A and B are shown apart, each in its own frame.
Chain A
Amino acid sequence: MTAADDGLDFSRVGIWLNDPANWWGQNGLLVHLREHVYYTLIAVVIAMIIALPLGLLIGHTGRGVVLVAGLANGLRAVPTLGAIVLLVLWLSPKIHWDVTVPALVPAGAMPYFITVQIVLVILAVPPILANTYAGVRNVDPAVRDAAKGMGMTGVQVVRKVEFPNALPLIMSGIRSATLQVIATATVAAYAPFLGGLGRLILDANDQITNPHTGYPAMVSAGIVVALLAIVADFVLIGLQRLIVSRGVSGRFSRRATSAVPVAEVQLAQA
């Protein structure tokens, strides 16, 4: 049996993509894309709120290093599907909060939504935390000494000196986290009620030969996720160019120095 007999035919993908109903309909690409983007944004923002201050604090004081290293490395070994399934089964029944958020959380879905968000946040925190910490540690000790010696308080040193100089690594961590979340959110559709582009992929698995909801839908959703990830990465890179000081990135017309030593935390996929 060849792939085409299973309906795994790329030509059908082209046909599927040309049908506007598949884009704009209730179960269309755009609806799921929007859900996916929201899931990602919420998780990354919450992760930043947790990880940035923590990373700055640990980096500045130099205490709690073991925690950071262990966390970043350890979480890589946890299979995301397993974590999602475990938490959905164990935690969701314990959440008794039945709120409906239009266009995001349908009726009865809140416990699952919260559970999945918890997983996504747990996955997004380590790269941001580890890179923030590394970024702060990488700041030249002489610069930190000078800042303190000129009369900056601890908080001022973090805010005015360590944070701006750690930005390249911090942004790198946020990028890694975002990609991680986009990828995991795809798998998260495994939880009941949850949308996102993973919904189309997983639903298609049971009806693979169906020309409307089968393989073509699967592949199209997959392509859109991939594009979303790539676009998100580019957007964040652009943001990084904007907010990182030229003195730090070494982006001068004359001298092309790479002034920032990199201790990038490599990320797991999902």
Chain B
Amino acid sequence: MIRFESVTKRYPDGTVAVDELTLEAPSHEITVLVGPSGCGKTTSLRMINRMIDPTDGRIMLDDKDISTVRPAELRRGMGYVIQAAGLFPHRTIVDNIATVPYLLKQDHRQARASALELMERVGLPAHFAKRYPAQLSGGQQQRVGVARALAADPNVMLMDEPFSAVDPVVRAELQDEFLRLQAEVGKTIVFVTHDIDEAIKLGDNVAVLRVGGKLAQFATPAELLSRPADSFVAGFVGRDRGYRALGFTVADALPLQDEPTINVGSELAAAPRVARDGWVLVVDGEQQPQGWLALTGVPPSALQGVVTPDLLNLGGTLAAQGGTLREALDAALSSPSGRGVVVDGDGRFAGTVSPSEVLSRIEAHAEEARHAQAELSTP
């Protein structure tokens, strides 16, 4: 657990980078510091590993004041990932990853073996081990940076915009893998970003800071979306709040309709018999949905041959059972047939759901939430 107690950072020329920041980053959770440029988020992060020392206030790490610990020692117990990765150009990937274990005088062979394991964990092929950073792409370098931070198995990870320097597709991949990794290792993570969507996606707790280093709101992403503390936070969080908030509610108790399906490779002529409203859902041998087949206005004479992938309409997205209301709504809205496709944990077809059904569920859920909130505030 990391606790900021009225921490202030004032520079000699008078600028206040961080103003009486008080918050607690719970153990084993991801706490995101987010805000516009000049809000002190990076400064705050760098005060945790004493790269910068506060002017006032103190920072506690598991009930120990960090100002009493020697900086180098403190840092060796924390993983540190920065935007530009900062890999050592003169060392191979595996030696880069093993940096802190080497510093801690661990056995070199042991450290290298662990580093190779970590490479696998972050999704890097083993033959990259002997390569040098200059030979890797930006996204690959970022993965190495994360592996390096994990190498000494620290309890705390500090991450300063680690995914900002890569393109959006790579960024989304890295974010997803990061969440998967965190589910495995459960570190206490403090994460800085300027991107509110990244904060909402990754954070268990989000601290919104305003220019001048003051804390505007500290809440879970769902709360941030549904109850922004003031107009600054509301503006920063942005539009489509209601829609984005749906991403935090699990779509339980969705009424699934059954739907006849045909397989890829089956006779086209058989399709009209199965179709409803002129659409047929096509699945593969594993019952995994492949797309919709449109039959409206197609004369029976044109139905020659078998169902092939190029005939399919791929417009609809898939919602997973136990996924969020947002997924379910999107599946229902984007489906060309008007029926959203829902799949189970193995990707197999589970049923369809219509937009109105999802919407009823959304309304019901919102009603429950308002009811619960009212109960809380009654004396």
A contacting B, Cβ–Cβ less than 8 Å: yes
**Interface status of A96 (Cβ within 8 A of chain B):** no
Per DSSP, chain A at the interface is: helix
Interface size, A (range):
20 to 34
| CB pair A245 B72 closer than 8 Å | no
In B74-95, the 8 Å CB interface with A consists of 74-78, 80, 82-92
A186 proximal to B (CB < 8 A): no
Segment of B130-138, B203-211, B348-356 in the binding face: B130-138
Contacts of B90 in A (CB 8 A): 161, 164-165, 167, 245, 247-248
Cα(A119)–Cα(B99), bound, Å: 43
- 8 Å CB contact of A245 from B89, B100, B103: B89
Question: Which of A151-159, A196-204, A207-215 sits within the interface?
Answer: A151-159
Is the CB–CB distance between A257 and B103 below 8 Å?
A: no
CB-CB contacts below 8 Å: A77-107 with B = none
Residue numbers in A under 8 Å from B89 (CB-CB): 140, 143, 165, 245, 247-248, 259
Taking a contact as CB atoms closer than 8 A, the residue among B100, B132, B134 that contacts A151 in the complex is B100
**Bound state CA distance, A57 and B146, in angstroms?**
30
Which residues of the partner chain A approach B80 to less than 8 Å between Cβ atoms? Answer: 146, 149-150
- Could you say which residues of chain B place their CB within 8 Å of the CB of A152? 72, 103
Interface: B13 (CB within 8 A): no
Within 8 A of A (CB), among B134-189: 134-135, 145, 148, 158
- A8 at the binding interface (Cβ < 8 Å): no
Establish whether residues A147 and B88, one from each chain, have CB atoms under 8 Å apart when the complex forms: yes
Which chain A positions have C-beta within 8 A of B82? 142, 145-146, 149
Contact residue range for chain B? Answer: 20 to 34
| A246 CA to B134 CA, complexed, in Å | 10
Q: Report the separation of the CA atoms of residues A165 and B82 in the bound assembly, to the nearest whole angstrom.
A: 19
B134 CB to closest chain A CB (Å) equals 5
Within 8 A of B (CB), among A222-270: 245-248, 250, 252, 254-255, 257, 259
Q: Would you give the shortest CB distance from B53 to chain A, in whole angstroms?
A: 13
Partner of B75, one of A150, A161, A252: A150
Q: Answer whether residue B366 sits at the interface, using C-beta atoms and an 8 A cutoff.
A: no
**B contact residues around A257 at 8 Å (CB):** 134
B88 touches A153 (CB 8 A): no
**Residues B204-225 near A (CB distance < 8 A):** none
Bound form: Cα–Cα A151–B151 in Å: 13
Which of B76, B83, B91 counts the most A-chain CB atoms under 10 A from its CB?
A: B91
User: B87 contacts which chain A residues (CB < 8 A)?
Assistant: 143, 146
Interface centre among A147, A149, A246, A248 (most CB of B within 10 A): A149
| Residue in B74, B85, B100, B158 whose CB lies within 8 Å of A142 | B85
Contact at A150–B135, with CB atoms within 8 Å?
Answer: no
B49 at the interface (CB under 8 A from A): yes
Given contacts A143-B88, A145-B86, A152-B72, are A254 and B135 in contact (CB under 8 A)?
yes
- Which chain A residues lie closer than 8 Å to B100 at the CB level? 150-151
Partner of B134, one of A156, A161, A255: A255
Task: Check if B134 sits within 8 Å of A247, measured CB to CB.
Answer: yes
B73 close to chain A: CB less than 8 A? yes
B269 on the interface (CB 8 Å rule)? no
With contacts A247-B134, A248-B90, A259-B89 taken as known, whether A149 is within 8 angstroms of B84 at the C-beta atoms is no
A250–B86 CA distance with the chains assembled, in angstroms:
17
A143 touches B86 (CB 8 A): yes
CA distance A1 to B22 in the complex (A): 93
Residue of A nearest to B86 (CB): A146
Please name all residues of chain B whose beta carbon is closer than 8 Å to the beta carbon of A165 when the two chains form the complex: 88-90
CB distance from A62 to the nearest CB of B (A): 16
Select the residue from A148, A156, A252 with max chain B CB neighbours within 10 A: A148
Q: Residue B51 at the A interface, CB < 8 A? A: yes
Structural contact, A247 and B133, CB atoms closer than 8 A? yes
Docked complex: B352-371 residues within 8 A CB-CB of A:
none
Residues of the B chain whose Cβ atoms lie less than 8 Å from the Cβ of A246: 132
A150-B76 Cα distance, complex, nearest whole Å: 6
Q: Point out the residues of chain A lying under 8 angstroms from B134, CB to CB.
A: 247, 250, 252, 255, 257, 259
Q: Is the CB of A245 within 8 A of B135?
A: no
Give the docked Cα–Cα distance between A75 and B87 (Å).
Answer: 37
| Residues of A close to B148: CB separation below 8 A | 150
Q: Which one of A144, A148, A150, A247 contacts B99 once the chains associate, using CB atoms below 8 Å?
A: A150
Sample of 5 further A-B pairs with CB below 8 A, known A148-B51, A151-B78, A152-B72:
A140-B84, A140-B86, A146-B85, A245-B89, A245-B90
Q: B-contacting residues of A (Cβ < 8 Å)?
A: 140, 142-153, 156, 161, 164-165, 167, 245-248, 250, 252, 254-255, 257, 259
Q: Which B residues have a C-beta under 8 Å from some C-beta of A?
A: 49, 51, 71-78, 80, 82-92, 99-100, 103, 132-135, 145, 148, 158
Cβ-closest 4 pairs across A and B: A146-B86, A247-B132, A151-B76, A151-B75
A-B contact pairs, 12 of them (CB 8 A): A142-B84, A145-B82, A146-B85, A149-B75, A150-B80, A150-B99, A150-B100, A151-B75, A151-B76, A247-B133, A254-B135, A259-B89
